[in-house]
Amino acid sequence: MNSETERKLKNKIKISGLWILILFMFFSVSGEDKISVVCFNNVTPSSLQENPDIEIYGIEVFNYWPDVEYLKQMLGRQKKGGVTYEEWLEQNKEDYRPISDKFMEDLEKAKLLYIGQRTSEAANTLFKKYPEAVKKFLQRGGVIFFDYGSASPSLNKFLKSIDLENPSADYKNMKSGDYSAVPWEKCDISLLKTPHDMKNGRIAAHGSWGKWSDKQFAPFRNINDPEKRAGMIIQENVLGKGVVIFNQIYSIFRKAERGGNKKLLENTLSYILKRDVTKYKIEMMKEKGGPGEPAR
């Protein structure tokens, strides 16, 4: 085993638990690349989002919750037998911590800022309290991924401040309902090609946009009206080097066995990091102990 491979394997860090209500996740990939995910998973308390097993890519996760009152509200909606806020804190004290200024330190070494599903209310905390940190993150080449929820007062104000049009800001631009999203044949982007060829596939989506700015492009379209309706919108060169992604495609950041889009997840991470993330997984599978475990 060469020294470079040995160094990567030694840097492999296991992932922590991922079933959560509202959290920040910071992914650390072996080598110099860093991924940071901010995830406010506003789902029903009885059905917590299960995120994909990303440890096979050499990723570490740190969990935060951004809004104490919001977390209390969500826990309070649980059915009989659910835990209280205090019990939740005690059970998860090793894995979760409240948002603080340390978030800015973590963001400085990060590559991806992930905003999870249906997060309009909770995301206000982030964009109201740390707008300058997020701007610097984009200037360094960071990527923000909005998964469904991308409309809140603080977010809209932030996006306007960086001259970026939010396709979700005008509800008239949105159309609900399930449909099949297809890759746009006129879009030549690595997200559709590396490591998996997505050109001929159909992907389940819910909700689409009917308008986006000239600075933005839409790699996935509604199969029923591909010329006019998009399931994913991307803008590159934000504040110089940054990228912002608005997504309506189902379950990219969900476990594959729960209907997640594993191939699109790997393509998305590869597009963000500008390298094939599956190569790390293949490398680990060749070593003793199996995939996702450090070599002995």
**Residue 107 placed within a domain:** yes
195 upstream amide cis, omega within 30 of 0: yes
- What's the CATH number where 142 sits? 3.40.50
**Residue 295 placed within a domain:** no
**Residue 181 placed within a domain:** yes
Token match 């309706």: residue?
Answer: 229
- Kind plus residue range of the DSSP H or E element containing 179: strand 174-183
For 249, phi and psi rounded to 5 degrees? Answer: -75, 135
**Residue 296 placed within a domain:** no
Q: What is the pLDDT along the chain (296 residues), one digit of tens a residue?
A: 444 443 333 332 222 222 222 223 333 333 344 455 555 544 334 334 456 666 677 666 666 665 566 667 766 666 555 677 777 777 766 666 666 777 788 788 788 888 876 555 667 778 888 899 999 999 999 999 988 767 778 888 999 999 999 998 887 888 889 999 999 989 999 999 999 999 888 899 988 999 999 999 999 999 999 999 999 999 999 999 999 999 999 888 766 555 568 899 899 989 998 888 888 766 655 664 555 444 43
**Residue 291 placed within a domain:** no
Radius of gyration of the chain (CA): 19
What ranges in the chain are assigned the alpha helix state H?
3-10, 68-76, 85-91, 102-108, 123-129, 131-139, 153-161, 262-273, 278-286
**Residue 294 placed within a domain:** no
**Domain count within the chain:** 1
**Residue 293 placed within a domain:** no
pLDDT for the residue 139: 97
For 12, what's the count of Cα atoms within 13 Å in the CB-facing half-sphere?
A: 24
**Residue 212 placed within a domain:** yes
* Amino acid identity at 93: K
pLDDT digits (tens, 9 = 90+) for 243-293: 999 999 988 876 655 556 889 989 998 999 888 888 876 665 566 455 544
Q: In 10 A of CB 259, how many CB atoms?
A: 10
Enclosing domain of residue 10: 3-286
